[in-house]
Structures are given as structure tokens and as C-alpha cells.
Chains A and B, each alone.
Chain A
Amino acid sequence: MNVSINWLKEYIDFDLSPETLADRLLMLGVETESIKQLGEGLDGVVVGRINAVRNHPNANKLVLCDVDVGKSADVQIVCGAPNAREGLVAPVALVGAKLATSLKIEAAKIRAEESHGMLCSETELGIGEDTSGLMELSDDSPIGAPLAAALGLDDAVLELEITPNRPDCLSMIGIAREIGAETGNPVKLPSVHVKEGTANVQELTSVSIDAPELCPRYAARVIRGVTVAPSPKWLQRKLESIGVGAVNNVVDITNFVLMECGHPLHAFDYHKLAENRIVVRRAAPHETLTTIDKTERNLTSDMLVIADAEKPVALAGVMGGFDSEISDQTVDVLLESAHFHPPSIRKTSKALGMHTEASHRFERDADPEGVISAINRAAQLIAELAGGEIARGIVDVYPGRQTPVQVKLRPERVNFVLGTEISSDKMTEILTRLGFNVSSTFEVTVPTFRPDVSREIDLIEEIARVYGYDRIPTTMPTGDIPTAPSTAISELRERVRDYLVASEMMEAINYSFYDAQSLDRIRLETSDRARDALEIRNPLSEDMSIMRTTLIPSLLENAQRNRNYRVENIQLFEISRVFVPSGDSELPNEPERVSGVIAGNVGAGVHGDPYRAADFFDTKGIVEGLLNVCGISDYAIATTRHPVLHPGRNAAVSVNGESLGIFGEVHPEVLESYDLGYKAYLFELDFEVLAGAADLTRRVEPISIYPSVNRDLAIVVDAELPASSPVELIRSSGGALVKSVRLFDLYIGDQVPDGKKSLAYAIEYSSSTETLTDEQVDRVHEKIVKRLGAELGGELRS
């Protein structure tokens, strides 16, 4: 909604700069998006009159003009415009003026003749498109007056953002009322005098409402003998100042009244209406209507139309019909002022993709009691500006009359809810200024232009906002603090996140959707459950069209993006929900996942700690560490088959027989589809399963007071033998004395026969009851060596 300050001042007195007005409105709940100062660059431009035109002695195409600029003597101005002539009233940029085109006017000699200013065209002033010659002003323009004032451009226009609960603010009078509530100045409504002729409107037309549930009120007037022509300049400029294009006098008047009081009107060419009458009804199936924008609309039976005896002539409350619109040939006018059911207008305008000034107001609920004042105001102006005679009376069909809303206000409740001490007199004053009627017992009658107010709390809000939110005290809550719900899940999530961050991984957060091809790119089989993704019906783009069922594609895309920027060490994780359709309930399940990708290098990449290519065991270590942090020691890791992973370098983790997730090297085809130039590793764990198995409680075990003994041993075994086998054997042979076993070296190469590998273990022996002697340790150690040889074919390496 655009509001012109000058126009607004016709309805209320105020003396505020546009910026101050914007601030005041803001604190009432009306935000100003922009302030446009009209007539910028017109400083120093005045209205001038050419009193004499003489030939330029030294130039054929130039003339010398003596121009009256409202000073004691005429000034001489050299001019080349073809329409420069004696008696022409035109804008003059005086010496010192700086025009919108950034041209600075100086006293100059043009071909040896003095020129004290410039006679201007519209384009030179930046206020129009006409380049043909000097802008021609009307003869009665005040000579010497600033051009901006003469053209009504000494104005500012506020672009206001009106919240959807306030249809009344979609008009000059509505905004004036808000200012009045704050300043206390009265709102000046326009005085309307309709001079009616003798013809009776009831004999000229009739209105029948066949769908009263969608049209509570329809009023019509007939004005005969109008002359359709361009509007007078003042009206055109007024509309243009707030961005409404001028059409012709009749249409401009309906727009003017719309902007003035917020009530949409429509004017029909009376003779284009079959039988000159109005039927308000639902559209028939397959009916069509060509609207004013020359588009044919297919109508459905839940749309309300204004029809004549035969066919639809307007889409009710949205847009008029092309065939019955006001044209140059129109002589008689049927004027419509009506009230429509808001949800119906909204549905129709949405279904047809038509958003108009009228539909914007009707879907927010216009004032049913404003119907008559609006139609009278328009009839009066049409008679004044377009001529013609207003038929006597109004056809006013009003099946949906409502009793005014009454609300009981408890002043003590106002202060109870707000935490204030506002006097009841102040409350009455505020509500009265806003147009409410407050009885001595605080029965409040709500004006019909305030459909948003129907309850006491609505009145409390009105009082609060006009009283001023800034005047409401600032206090802290005094009530009880409720008992806390369980925080186990969030504690675990924080623990896992802290762990991953401490493990060199950076946290990523991605959109919750991606494109359907993402699941192809990670090679999911058609039968994979993760293929069953929810689709967004109205996605922003194909890239954001299905809800994630796995975080893997997002992380691989992140890796790709970083790779494109030549980032060489990528360690990213994400903790987020995925969305799994659920068979039995309407809402999907939203299990949480913890996933990560490691690609390129790991390490600090500094002297003494160089980069090292990431490998499978970095990922495995992250996963094992994570399980450890969650207090899960009883888990199983086994090779698996997952299409996103390298068939020989992958693993599945399970806890208590329940699948927890997967990890491993990304399949080369997936790497290619993400254009990753190096190997990548990933993991994805089900947070729910993790939480089910997690145990964050810790019980301290006594630390042995006896020193431990460390022994290393290296054995050569078959290359095929899993590295876990010797560990299991060491543990089972050593029993309770073996405190820990650590594989510290794996070696394949020179000095180790083909098909063999060397495994070196550090074994820590200790007892909780005594200091172990060398003999005790030797005995166990030798037993271990013997069994490694006998059972695994392991040869001791020296």
C-alpha cells in the first residue's frame, strides 16, 4: 500500500516529516518499506512564461526567449526547442539548479548570446518520457512558483507493509485513523453529496443474489449520460503518485475511491449488460469469462461471478470482464459496490493466479457497512468529473447483514495481561480514537471496518500498541520452573558431536532435501529401502525435490565442492534427521543419522607431522572411538555389501544383533560420479540404535598398584590371516594377566616371504594382586608364542 503524504493530509492534520511519520507508524504496527521523495532534482526549477521570442543572430536553430520567472525582470534564455513560442508556460531551470540528469545549470554564452537558465523538456527533468520539446504547463500555473509544487510533486510516498489482519489500513482514511489514534487529531471524512436525478434506479436495473453465502451484500447505482475522457490532471497525478496508472475518468474515480476508503468498486458499461441487470451467482460448469486483462478464464462452480441475464460479466471481487468494461463509447454506467465472502475470493484468486487490488482487500475482509458511502462517493465524483445524471436511489441487496460485534472489556484484565497500570480512562480514549464505541460499563462496540477484533484480547492488543509497547515495563517471570524432561538423547548427541570435533572432523549442515538422482549417484539398488523417499510437491527446484533418506549424498557433494576449490584434506560429518515414509501413520519417521566423509589427506601437514593419505582405518578408528565414547564395547564389525562402498573395503557395525550402520571406502564409480580425484571414506550410523545401546554411566575400576611388564613380539603369518586372530589367541592364552594387546606394526615386503605378513604386537602384562616376576611373565609369554605357532602357523620373527 502506497500512501502520499499530501493526499493523507486531506484526512488528518499532522506536521511530521516522512521519516518521523514512518517511525510513528512503525511503533503502531505499520512498517514502511521505502520512502520515495517525489520531485527530486527539481530544486531551482520554476514555472516560467515565454513573453517574447527572437531569432538568435548567430544560429538558425536557436532562438532567444525572454522568460518571466516571477522576478522583477524577464531573463534571457537561449533555446532550441521547436515548440518555444510566445505565451508558452514551461518549466525553467534557473542558474544554480542541478537537475535529475545531474546537469548543472550555469549562466553561459551560447554563440555569443547570454543565457540565464534552461527551458526544459520532461526528460530533461526526469519526470516524463516526452522528448519532442518543452514541457507544456497549463496557462494558469503560478508563474515563478517551484515546479514541484505546481505539479504536486512536493510530496513523499510511503510504501507501507500492511499485515493481513488489517484490511482497514489498506486506505488513506485507514492510515489517517491510525495517525489520529496516536496524535489525538480527528479524522476528516470527505463530505459526500449525491445529486440524484429523477429516473428511478429500480426501473433501470435489478440485482439478484443467487449465492448469498458468498455475497452478503450487493449495491448498484446507475449514472446516465457520462462523457468518458481522460481524468483531470490533479486526479491523474494523485493516482500516479501512489503508482496507479490513469485509465479514464470513470475507472480512475473507482480507483480513487478504492485508495481513499479501501472499498473496491467496479463500473460496468450499462448497455453491455444483457437486460441491464445483475445476477450474482456461482459460475456454471465450463463457463468462461474474458477479464479486463484480455485473458480467457475457465471458471468452476465454486467461483462467484457477477453476471447479467445471460453470462458472467465480472469475476466477483477479483476483476471485471473485458466486454462490459468502460470504454470511450460508454454513455451509461452501472456502478457496483459489494461485499464478498473472504475465503471464496481468496480461493478464486489463488486458483486463477490473479492477485488484484480488489481481491487483496476482499480476501482480507472489506467493510460491509462501507458499501454505501463508497458508492455514493464514486457517484458524486463521476457526476462532477464525467458529467451525467445519477439515477434516484440505490439498489441495495443485503442478505448477509450482521449485528455489530460487542465485546466486554475488563480494564483490570488489560493490566493483568500486559503487566501495566493503564487507567481505564486511557483505555477508553485509545479505543474511541480508533473508532470503537465504549460504554460506561465497558461494553465495546467494534466498528465494522475492524474484522480482526472480536474478543477482549483483541481490544487489549489495540490498547497495548497505541499505549506503546515501549511503555510496558520489563520484568522477569516469577512462576515456578517446571520439572525437566529427559535430556538423555540431547546429551548423547552433544557427546557424539564433541567427540567428532575432537577427532579432526568439521561439522556440516545441509539442506534436508536433494535431487532424485542423488540416490543413483550413490549406486543404490532399485530395491533399496533408502529409495523410498518422500517427494516435495512444490519444490524450489529439482535439486531440492526429495527428502533425504541418507546423509551420504549431501556429504559427498560437500566433498566435491571442496575438492573443486582444491581443498586437499576433507573431514566432514553431519548429524541430522532423515525421513522414512511410515506405512501406518500419516507422518513419516524421522530417524537421526550420524554420517561422515574423509577424503584426501589427514594430519597437520607440518614438519614432523606430514600429510598422509587417508585410508580405511582412519574411518574405522573414528567409528570405534565413537562407540567407545558412547560406552558401547560389545559390538561386531563384519564385511558387508553396500553399493556405495568398495566391495573389498567395507564393513557393517552391529550392536546386540541390531544393525548400527556401515563404513568403508567409497566405491570408485561413486567417486567418479562426484568427480572426486582422490579416494574417499565414509560412515553412516543410525543415531537411534546408537542411543539404544549407549551407556554414558561410568564406574571406576581400581588402578593396580603393581607395575605392569611390557613385552613385544613379532610373528610371520599367512597374508590371508585376519589380524584379529592372533589378538584373540593372545588374550585367551594369557588370561587375566594380559592387560592390553596393541598391534604396533604391520609389514609386508623384503625379509618376509611372499604370501606372508609380519605382525608386531605390544603386550602389557599385569596383575592386580602382586608384582609379576620375569619368570611369571616369561611363562605366559612363551605359552602364547607356542600357541601362535601351533594354531596359527605363526613364526616368531627376531
Chain B
Amino acid sequence: MQEELKKIEAEALSELQAVANSADLEELRIKYFGRKGRLSTVMRGMGKLSAAERPVIGKLANEVRGNLTTAFEEVGEKLARQERENQLAMEAIDITLPGRRPQLGVKHPITQTLERIQQIFRGMGFHVADGPEIEHEYYNFDALNTPADHPARDLQDTLYITDEVLLRTHTSPVQVRFMEKHAPPVRIIVPGKAYRHDYDVSHTPTFHQVEGLLVDYHVTFSELKGVLHSFARQMFGDQTDMRFRPHFFPFTEPSAEVDISCTVCSGSGCRTCSGSGWLEILGAGAVDPNVFEYANYNPDEVTGFAFGMGVERIASIRYGIPDIRALYENDLRFLRQF
């Protein structure tokens, strides 16, 4: 019997080596461990053994059973692992098939640019204000120190509804409208549409501006430089250089046009900046005392600065758009690029 057990163990282990799948393993398990299996059969013959033999054989039988159980489990695990691997291998897919992207829409590049501009100025404590797009001549010109029959009116080609009502040529009318209703200090930006009788690669008859106005008891020109410098670096990058040039606007004094170092060539001169190394991005200046008078502020008590930037211009620099009229064609092949 002892020999029989050893033989069963050796045969079982050898057969186990040849098992290729879990079905065969189960069959083998029944062959040895089943009710009529070889191990069970031997165990059942234990009763015929002598009392002296029984503990010895019993111990051996338990040992064999234990060894075989462990061996079967090991093989079983190995087979299960293998079969899982085979299964997963069979499930492999062609990952080069296209993914199903969420069909997100896109905000218009003008909106995206406006949002960025607003975000930057909000960070500097500016609030958003607005005003009508169809405006009185008074707010668009007179109150901005631009009297009728002054050549400065020619700077802006105006679209008129009646003699006194026009499409605002800039967002600046909101300066006086806001100051009429609010006491200083004032710190606002005015994003919005404006209109001019202009149509070429860098002008559209409807366009967007962001006006800025800061008025307080002691505001300096140096602070205008600081705010715009900070804006330019956040908008166009930390390395952006800025240049203020004297200019003329009827409603600011001193007035400036503001350039940034070319975003394409960083200032060395290229086609985008016509070789100058600079790109004009906005007009600015200290609020003219006459404007304060119109707004019923006392120019001896307050100073301030204002600036106005063309959003299309900034978008065209930001995205490299050669003809800004493309922004108004709403060609989906264009819009999908943003």
C-alpha cells in the first residue's frame, strides 16, 4: 500500500505536468480525488490495514494527498492565469481606430480674446461696465473733447443714424456715462462693439474694443505705464517689451500710442511688424481735464488715465490672422481651429 501511494503520487505529478488546460485538469482531479478516484480508492482500503500499519500509512496518505492538492492548486492557478492571458490577448483591438471625441463647440476667437483681457484686468481690480452701441453724438464726441467742426472728428469715420445719433466709434463714450453716475474712485473696463466706416485687411465696420478708465485722487502717467505693462506681459508673455509713443487723442492729455515688441520676431524685425520690431496695440493717455468737466468731476481734485484697445487687432496678433475680416465670416473651417 505504501508503494501504491508512492506510485499514485509519482504518476499524478507526472500527469499533472502534461495538463494543458483547466478542463483536463478537472478530469485529472476527478481521476485522483473523485469519489471513485485512485486516491479515494486507496484510502477506502485503509480499513483493511492492521492497527500498527494504519498510522504509518495514514500519515503517508495524508502527506501524498497534501502534496497532490498543493500541486493541483499550483497548476490550476498557472492555467487560470494563462487562460486569462490568452483571453485578453484575443480581446486586443485596433487602437488606431479613431476615438469618439466629445463634439464640443468653440467660443469665437474674439470672445476668447475678450475673456482673457477681462480676466487680466479683473486681476488688477477693474470691473466691467457697458453702455449703448447706438450713441448720442454728445457722448461719442463732444463730451470727449471732440467738438463739431474739429478735424479730430476725421480721425474716425462715423456711421450715422441721424444728425445726432450715431454708431459709437469707440467704447470711450462709456467713460463719461459711467462718471456721471459714479463718484471716484473709478476702475473699469468696457468691452464692447464699436463701428466705423472702414473695410480692409485690418479694419472691419463692426469691431470690438476694450476701454479702460482709472480715476482717483492721485493717478499718474507712470501708473498707466505700469498697468499696461502688466497687461502686455500677461497677454503676450513675460518677455514682452513695451513702448509708449506720444500721440494725439482729443480726450487724453498727454496721449500715447503703445507698441509691444513683435511677437513673431521678438523685436529683430520681420514681415509681421514691417521690419520695425514693434506692433501697435492700443491708444492711451491721462484723462483730459475737459472730459472731467463734462462728467462733473473736478479736474483739480482727480486725475486719471484711459486706454482703448482693438480686440481684433490683439486676436490677430495672438493667433496670426493675416486678414481680420476672416473673424466675421464664421467659416466653420476657421472657427474649428480655436
Interface residues of A in 472-499 (CB under 8 A from B): 472-482, 484-485, 487, 490, 497
A479 touches B217 (CB 8 A): yes
Can you add 9 more A-B contacts, CB < 8 Å, to A418-B222, A476-B230, A479-B187? A461-B254, A470-B243, A472-B244, A501-B104, A504-B105, A510-B206, A511-B205, A534-B134, A540-B159
Q: Which of A31, A419, A537 contacts B222 (CB 8 A)?
A: A419
B280 CB to nearest chain A CB (Å): 10
Task: Spot the interface stretch: B16-24, B39-47, B150-158.
Answer: B150-158
Which residues in B have some Cβ–Cβ distance to A below 8 Å? 97-101, 103-108, 110-111, 124-125, 127-129, 132-136, 148-152, 154-155, 159-162, 164-165, 167, 182, 185-187, 193, 195, 197, 199, 204-206, 214, 216-223, 225-227, 229-230, 243-248, 253-256, 286, 288-289, 303, 327-333, 335-336
B246 touches A469 (CB 8 A): yes
Please, which residues of chain A bring their CB within 8 A of the CB of B253? 457-458, 460-461
Please, which residues of chain B bring their CB within 8 A of the CB of A464? 221, 246, 254
A422 and B319 CA atoms in complex are apart in Å by 41
Identify the interface centre among A484, A507, A547, A608: most chain B CB within 10 Å of its CB. A507
Please, which residues of chain A bring their CB within 8 A of the CB of B199? 540
Task: Tell whether A482 pairs with B303 under 8 Å between CB atoms, given A418-B220, A477-B226.
Answer: no
A332 and B66 CA atoms in complex are apart in Å by 140
Interface residues of A in 363-397 (CB under 8 A from B): 363-364
B127 touches A507 (CB 8 A): no
Which residues in A have some Cβ–Cβ distance to B below 8 Å? 26-29, 31, 163-166, 342-343, 346-347, 363-364, 416-420, 455, 457-458, 460-461, 464-465, 469-470, 472-482, 484-485, 487, 490, 497, 500-513, 534-540, 544, 547, 558, 561-562, 565, 567, 570-573, 577, 579, 586-588, 590, 602-604, 606-609
Please, which residues of chain A bring their CB within 8 A of the CB of B246? 27-29, 461, 464-465, 469
7 contacts between A and B (CB under 8 A): A497-B111, A507-B111, A508-B335, A512-B193, A534-B134, A534-B161, A579-B133
B152 touches A511 (CB 8 A): no
B152 touches A164 (CB 8 A): yes
Task: Tell whether A504 pairs with B104 under 8 Å between CB atoms, given A487-B128, A497-B111.
Answer: yes
Please, which residues of chain B bring their CB within 8 A of the CB of A419? 220-223
Please, which residues of chain B bring their CB within 8 A of the CB of A539? 159
Q: Which residue of A lies closest to B255 (CB)?
A: A461
B2 CB to nearest chain A CB (Å): 61
A506 and B333 CA atoms in complex are apart in Å by 11
A761 CB to nearest chain B CB (Å): 28
Q: Which residue of A lies closest to B159 (CB)?
A: A536
Q: Which of B133, B161, B217, B303 contacts A590 (CB 8 A)?
A: B133
B207 CB to nearest chain A CB (Å): 10
Task: Tell whether A474 pairs with B229 under 8 Å between CB atoms, given A481-B125, A561-B331.
Answer: yes
Q: Which residue of B lies closest to A30 (CB)?
A: B246
A457 touches B288 (CB 8 A): yes
Please, which residues of chain B bring their CB within 8 A of the CB of A535? 161
Task: Tell whether A482 pairs with B127 under 8 Å between CB atoms, given A500-B105, A587-B165.
Answer: yes
Please, which residues of chain B bring their CB within 8 A of the CB of A608? 100
Please, which residues of chain B bring their CB within 8 A of the CB of A571? 105
A212 and B297 CA atoms in complex are apart in Å by 37
Q: Which residue of B lies closest to A343 (CB)?
A: B149
**Interface secondary structure of A, over-half rule:** loop
A28 and B244 CA atoms in complex are apart in Å by 10
Please, which residues of chain A bring their CB within 8 A of the CB of B219? 477, 479
A564 and B186 CA atoms in complex are apart in Å by 49
A485 touches B129 (CB 8 A): yes
B248 touches A558 (CB 8 A): no
B150 touches A343 (CB 8 A): yes
A509 touches B104 (CB 8 A): no
Task: Tell whether A561 pairs with B329 under 8 Å between CB atoms, given A164-B152, A461-B254, A464-B254.
Answer: yes
A730 and B226 CA atoms in complex are apart in Å by 65
Q: Which residue of B lies closest to A545 (CB)?
A: B159
B104 touches A502 (CB 8 A): yes
Task: Tell whether A363 pairs with B151 under 8 Å between CB atoms, given A29-B248, A474-B225, A507-B107.
Answer: yes
A418 and B185 CA atoms in complex are apart in Å by 19
B247 CB to nearest chain A CB (Å): 6
B223 touches A476 (CB 8 A): yes
Task: Tell whether A474 pairs with B161 under 8 Å between CB atoms, given A485-B127, A547-B134.
Answer: no
A477 touches B127 (CB 8 A): no
A588 touches B134 (CB 8 A): yes
Q: Which residue of A lies closest to B252 (CB)?
A: A461
Q: Which of A507, A511, A512, A547 contacts B106 (CB 8 A)?
A: A507
A504 and B6 CA atoms in complex are apart in Å by 74
Please, which residues of chain A bring their CB within 8 A of the CB of B204? 511
A508 touches B129 (CB 8 A): no
Closest 6 pairs (CB-CB, A-B): A419-B222, A419-B220, A29-B246, A163-B248, A343-B149, A479-B216
A511 and B159 CA atoms in complex are apart in Å by 13
Q: Which of B98, B162, B244, B328 contacts A511 (CB 8 A)?
A: B328
Please, which residues of chain B bring their CB within 8 A of the CB of A461? 246, 253-255
A469 and B243 CA atoms in complex are apart in Å by 8
B218 touches A479 (CB 8 A): yes
A476 touches B98 (CB 8 A): no
Task: Tell whether A507 pairs with B152 under 8 Å between CB atoms, given A458-B253, A461-B255, A534-B161.
Answer: no
B133 touches A562 (CB 8 A): no
A501 touches B106 (CB 8 A): yes
Q: Which of B99, B327, B330 contacts A572 (CB 8 A)?
A: B330
Q: Which of B165, B230, B335 contacts A507 (CB 8 A)?
A: B335
A464 CB to nearest chain B CB (Å): 5
Please, which residues of chain A bring their CB within 8 A of the CB of B134? 534, 547, 579, 587-588, 590
Q: Which residue of B lies closest to A508 (CB)?
A: B330
A100 CB to nearest chain B CB (Å): 22
Please, which residues of chain B bring their CB within 8 A of the CB of A538? 159-160, 197
Please, which residues of chain A bring their CB within 8 A of the CB of B135? 587
A540 and B253 CA atoms in complex are apart in Å by 32
A285 CB to nearest chain B CB (Å): 22
Please, which residues of chain B bring their CB within 8 A of the CB of A547? 134, 161
A455 and B253 CA atoms in complex are apart in Å by 11
B303 CB to nearest chain A CB (Å): 6
